[in-house]
Structure 1
């Protein structure tokens, strides 16, 4: 039996409602966060000022929290609920109820955090570093978002375990396996952010403690913050590995290779947070070096993914009679938005991955650290590779759930939207990378460095960012138009949830991939190895009287 053969051809109607609820919140966050991003780049250009006394960092926080945390988390959970329902069957009534509870807990938490940001009581950016302090309600809201996501993850894992009980000795469907890996990665990673919020920042904001240890709070955040990147990325990989082969009419290149790459992401994405702290004191350089090595190991599953994807494309093209080195490219469905939109995201990941290697290298990181280069990298990875793939998923998943059709007009508009996004991001991210190499700082408004001697060198790049950001906002308007159409107005019909299968004959998928005691055990060992001694060192060498929790 091929593990990617699926139990049913459609997402259960009740599970679809749960997925769509997550999508509604995600696209509201996209609209509001995108508007905040537009205002932000206009201010950075030095040609415009925020009205009504709105603060620059208030807008920056809205943009980061809504797009970096809310849009991504809600979209990913909605997609994963649909993927599980499609591949292992409908959720049980109990699991679905837990999923709904998780959704409402997350939504309430999001509303609490958003209100505090809008009241300018939490302008602490999406990283919310101490010594920046937010209102306690902001921290409580973030906690509820994490707890709600745990409930959602638990519902997905229960569906997986139910399938395993009824199918002993069989490998789970590939898409569900990937959901399980990403859910486990998320649960393990969010322990760090939950710890710093509940044990440090919330008691501090409530006045229960006078001070907090910044080194520990930042370390706990980046224990979470780097695997957060892979929590965003792995759902895009799910689409690339499993959905795209079916869309183009090909086959999944290798079930086992796909599973191995996801296991490697689980192992190597969590114990690497120090590479975000290479320039910080209080952490022994030897431990930074160790985590840099672990960071570069993530290159391996990334290259495995690139090989698998382009092997799928070439195999398909050759099967259609393509000849020559790149003749297979002509055989790909360039008029199908379900393929074109994620493919642009794949291409963007090539320079994005190269920039990530620069960020993770201790020597090169010193050149770009805390410059807007990092922001440019962030917008290539999350805001292009990941988000464009999410848009591509939307164009077939929403009509699949709502019982509508992706019309030719919407398909064409979706391709135009992706092209618009690519052009806008080329301007904005390209200008950010260039300005970063000239030393332009990240997170700062134009007025803060406008008088600096080198600021005149940065101004053209800030204007280019404003141009790119404006084009991107047009792209956001287009994708929201498409989403609303597919959710409410497109003609009734059937849209496929494409799930690829492997070629026959295929080697049996090794069951060791689903030995979770093994993989989670190795993950825990790597985390303990990478963090235990540095944490002990931080606690023991904290200034007198701080004990790790009372000094910043």
Structure 2
């Protein structure tokens, strides 16, 4: 059955664009903070006006990894939901309430960081302590995102009620899966912020259970990666096929991969804590095994995408083994930017396997290798796909055209970004293998045998970071040109149809009680016993947490 797609009204477009404005302003501010970091680490630059390195490091991480991604994803998902299942006046009102709650929280948190009162990095590990408004702002961002979650849930529920027995639109299904993942994951960070960090920062308790706080953070921190990634997968599965003139290879396979991501992306936080004492090695091993399970939906996605590409090419008459590659629209930035992100996911995924492997993790743990890995995943795969989305989403919302000039400039921007990231992330990976630490402003250490080599790689990071910042400026210019300067005209909102040859989608894939139940069971299995053990064997100085839970 062919899905009927709705039009997006001007009221809905304003809601979505509000999220986009915040996202792209965050890109510029957070990118500048990242550029300054690479300059400082190169040993050739000192920050002016008494600005501290860890101040800009915290701002870079929070603004890009949390603010940019969250606002872009929620705005994009509102566009998908409005297009596929619609949005009522009440739902739009609740979406605006969520937006303003997140924005107020963002301004509180960012203001605290920029005034130097929250130099705690984006992971805000205790015993580093920030001013209370940092944590209060974070809590408001999470609460605002929960309002968006339940708005999306309501949108699909209303559609299902009006289409009893009907299969939900693929993109709406994907959005709800991602928001379920986000809601369940953020329960961890909300718990540690509300129960531990806010009372501690206000002086209500004298101490904090560090291991509990880190465990709750990484309960959230790893699925955060998939909250970033799944919207890119939405575009890969259901948007890119339309852009290349093809069809979705399999609706069922797409839904299955998202269900698997929901189940296996949350109960795996211990693989970020492999070197920490206080957690039984058995439970670390179990969570490492669960971590590797997400390789399955990743491989399903890779298979589905290349099958889609090949089917599209062969439908245009390219019959040789790899001739279909020539049929792909390499000169269309809506395709080019995301496909470069897809290719970057090959080394990014390989690095993720290394990070999660207990033995190999010992080599790169807490080195700048991990920073390089993050820049390949969220900084390349995810962000280039988001840029690719922007090239059709912004014109479709503003009633403007993607001109040939902007299309060409977008391809240049993608190349500039890729070159800058190759240099910077490559240097980070190599320096990490040599033992260069992450989170540090210092590129030299007394007695270190590889100081000169480290400094060389830090300079390479500064060069790559400079090229990346040029890419950021280009993208921000492109965004505002598409909003205000591009000529008026019709722009398509590309959503692909499922191939006629695809197998029917089994009804059980929409059994929400089943998948949510299995997810909760896996989380309880992976965390209940070790978490009780952590609390029972808390070291001296953790009375603050114990007093709070009595």
Q: State the alpha-carbon separation in 1 of the partners of residues 474 and 121 from structure 2.
A: 27
Cα distance in 1, alignment partners of residues 511 and 105 from structure 2: 34
2:137 maps to 141
Counterpart contact for 2:247–2:499, Cα < 8 Å: yes
1:478 is matched with which residue? 474
Offset, 1:506: 4.1
Distance across 2 between alignment mates of 1:329 and 1:489: 34
Equivalent residue, structure 2, for 1:67 = 64
| 2:4 is aligned with 1:6 | yes
Shift of 1:507: 3.2
- Residue 506 of structure 2 corresponds to residue 510 of structure 1: yes
Written as runs of structure 1 = structure 2, the 5 A alignment for 1:378-457 is 378-446=374-442, 449=445, 452-457=448-453
Partner residue in 2 for 1:178:
174
Separation of aligned partners in 2, 1:505 and 1:377: 38
Q: 2:125: which partner in 1?
A: 129
Residues of 1 paired with 2:543 and 2:141: CA distance? Answer: 29
Give the C-alpha shift of residue 450 in structure 1. Answer: 7.0
Deviation at 1:515, TM superposition (A): 1.1
* SS class of match (1:449): coil
Which segment is superposed worse, 497-506 or 122-131? Answer: 497-506
Match of 1:210 among 199, 206, 213: 206
**Residue in structure 1 matched with residue 193 of structure 2 by the alignment:** 197
Q: Is the 8 A contact 1:538 1:548 kept in 2?
A: no
1:131-530 maps to which residues of 2 (within 5 A)?
Answer: 131-446=127-442, 449=445, 452-530=448-526
Tell me if structure 1 keeps the 8 A contact 2:207–2:541. Answer: no
Query: What is the CA–CA distance in structure 1 between the aligned matches of 2:148 and 2:532, rounded to whole Å?
Result: 33
Distance 2:210 2:444 in 1: 24
**2: CA distance, partners of 1:529 / 1:507:** 34
Judge conservation of contact 1:275–1:291 (CA < 8 Å) in 2. yes
Q: Deviations over 1:152-178 (max 9, x none)?
A: 111111111110001111111101110
How many residue pairs get matched?
Answer: 547
Matched, 1:85 2:82: yes
Matches of 2:428 and 2:542, distance apart in 1: 39
Query: Structure 1: how far apart are the matches of 2:504 and 2:167?
Result: 9
Q: Distance in 2 between matches of 1:323 and 1:449?
A: 58
Uncovered stretches (5+) of structure 2, i.e. residues with no partner: none
1:355-398 deviations in whole A, cap 9, x for unaligned? 00000000000000000000000000000000000000001100
Q: Is the 8 A contact 1:314 1:329 kept in 2?
A: yes
Task: Show the counterpart of 1:106.
Answer: 102
Residues 313 and 332 in structure 1, CA contact (< 8 A), matched pair in contact too = yes
Deviations 1:389-430 (A, max 9, x none): 000000110010000000000000000000000000000000
* TM-score normalized by the length of structure 2: 0.98
After superposing the two structures, state which structure 1 stretch, 55-64 or 450-459, moved more: 450-459
Name the stretch that deviates more: 508-517 or 232-241.
508-517
Of 31, 42, 47, 1:34 maps to: 31
Matching residue of 2:13: 16
Per-residue deviation, 1:6 = 3.0
1:18-47: CA deviations, max 9, x gaps? 110000001111010000000000111111
Report if aligned partners of 2:250, 2:304 keep a CA contact under 8 Å in 1.
Answer: yes
- Structure 2: distance between partners of 1:544 and 1:344: 50
Counterparts in 2 of 1:545 and 1:415: CA distance versus 1, 3 Å:
closer
Could you tell me how far apart the structure 1 residues matched to 2:328 and 2:447 are? Answer: 51
- Please tell me whether the aligned partners of residues 211 and 550 of structure 1 are also in contact (alpha carbons under 8 angstroms): no
8 Å CA contact retained: 1:62, 1:117? yes
Contact 1:210/1:550 (8 A) holds in 2 = no
**Structure 1 pair 63/451, CA: closer, same or farther in 2 (3 Å)?**
farther
Bigger mean CA deviation after superposition, 540-549 or 462-471 = 540-549
| Pair 1:517–1:459, CA change in 2 (3 A) | same
- TM superposition shift of 1:12: 2.6
CA distance in 2, matches of 1:138, 1:429: 29
Q: Which residue of 1 is the match for residue 22 of structure 2? A: 25
Instruction: Note if contact 2:288-2:356 (Cα within 8 Å) is conserved in structure 1.
Output: yes
Distance 2:472 2:289 in 1: 38
C-alpha contact 2:206 2:544 (8 A) present in aligned 1:
no
Q: Deviations over 1:482-517 (max 9, x none)?
A: 100111111001111100111225433222111111
Shift of 1:326: 1.4
Question: For structure 1, which segment, 265-274 or 505-514, has the greater mean C-alpha deviation from structure 2 after superposition?
Answer: 505-514
